[in-house]
Amino acid sequence: MSNTTIDVFSWPTPNGHKVHIMLEECGLPYRAHPINIGKGDQFAPEFLAISPNNKIPAITDPAGPDGKPISLFESGAILVYLAGKTGRFLPQGDRERYDVLQWLMFQMGGVGPMLGQAHHFRLYAPEKLPYAIERYTNEAKRLYGVIDKQLAKNRFIAGKSYSIADIAIFPWLRSWQNQGIVLDDYPHLKKWFEGIAERPAVQRGVKVLADLRKPLTDDRSRDILFGKSQYERR
């Protein structure tokens, strides 16, 4: 019997949770391998071989599109791949599919990077920079407003059906308090958020590897994540 178990190399961050949730929603067999980004596991040669940008998550699927193994990095690309593999959470019709993909790109190019910067300057930066904190907190509020407006007229992010757009955005909003957000200010988003959080597969997905993550307290981990270690050529 051929092996169909997907190996996911990940850590319990929003981008990691996106793929964990998708795998759970699709019911695909998988093994989660922790890549401790606070200890520098992401710079190991064997991980760089499948994720050259040294970012989690990455996957290896022994049963790729042509029946041969395939490795992928970038969480958005992995979501599209898994949707194609299973025929789930990405509509077949052109108009509906592009609707989902534009909101996936909205997450990849906006929600993730901007909320990540809000987390950094509000929580992790070695010095408090009022300009940066204000800039990224305001951008977080703007993005929440965009999502709230979209959800005022749609049950899900990209329309009537739950999709990879919802799966991509939800994990990034779980830390809304750390982004300077008052969730009650966005009632449509809040209703959607609470509904997604109740999905059994989502609840399973956000628990994957979660017990391994510890608070970021030491200078070595800060340097690995945010300092000169990030910029060494490998």
pLDDT tens-digit map of 75-100: 999 999 999 999 999 999 999 999 99
What is the model's pLDDT at position 6? 98
Same domain, yes or no, for 11 and 28?
Answer: yes
Burial label, 84 (beta-carbon count in 10 A; 0-12, 13-18, 19+): exposed
Domain-embedded: residue 25: yes
Structural domain tally of the chain?
A: 2
Same domain, yes or no, for 224 and 188?
Answer: no
124-128, 148-152, 208-212: lowest mean pLDDT where? 124-128
What is the spatial distance between Cα 44 and Cα 66, in angstroms, rounded to a whole number?
Answer: 28
What is the model's pLDDT at position 143? 98
Domain-embedded: residue 215: yes
What is the model's pLDDT at position 232? 75
pLDDT for 234 beyond 80: no
Bridge-partner residues for 31, per DSSP? 7
Domain-embedded: residue 52: yes
What is the model's pLDDT at position 216? 65
**CATH number of the domain where residue 33 is located:** 3.40.30.10
Same domain, yes or no, for 163 and 75?
Answer: no
pLDDT for 30 beyond 50: yes
What is the spatial distance between Cα 174 and Cα 172, in angstroms, rounded to a whole number?
Answer: 6
For residues 154 and 112, the answer to whether their CB atoms sit within 8 Å is no
Domain that holds residue 221: 6-88+205-231
DSSP 136-150: HHHHHHHHHHHHHHH
Coil, strand or helix at 82? helix
Same domain, yes or no, for 51 and 80?
Answer: yes
Of 3 and 86, the structure prediction assigns the larger pLDDT to 86
Burial label, 110 (beta-carbon count in 10 A; 0-12, 13-18, 19+): middle
130-139, 198-207, 213-222: lowest mean pLDDT where? 213-222
**CATH number of the domain where residue 193 is located:** 1.20.1050.10
Same domain, yes or no, for 61 and 113?
Answer: no
Same domain, yes or no, for 101 and 37?
Answer: no
Q: Binning pLDDT at 50, 70 and 90, where does residue 220 land?
A: low
Q: Binning pLDDT at 50, 70 and 90, where does residue 221 land?
A: low
Whether omega before 215 lies within 30 degrees of 0, making that bond cis, reads no
Interval 144-186: pLDDT, tens: 999 999 999 999 999 999 999 999 999 999 999 999 999 999 9
Helices (H), the chain: 14-26, 45-48, 75-86, 94-106, 112-119, 130-151, 164-173, 187-197, 200-205, 219-226
Same domain, yes or no, for 99 and 194?
Answer: yes
Q: Binning pLDDT at 50, 70 and 90, where does residue 223 land?
A: low
Same domain, yes or no, for 101 and 178?
Answer: yes
pLDDT for 1 beyond 80: no
Domain-embedded: residue 73: yes
What is the model's pLDDT at position 203? 98
Same domain, yes or no, for 174 and 222?
Answer: no
Same domain, yes or no, for 77 and 98?
Answer: no
Tell me the pTM. Answer: 0.94
What is the model's pLDDT at position 112? 97
Domain-embedded: residue 1: no
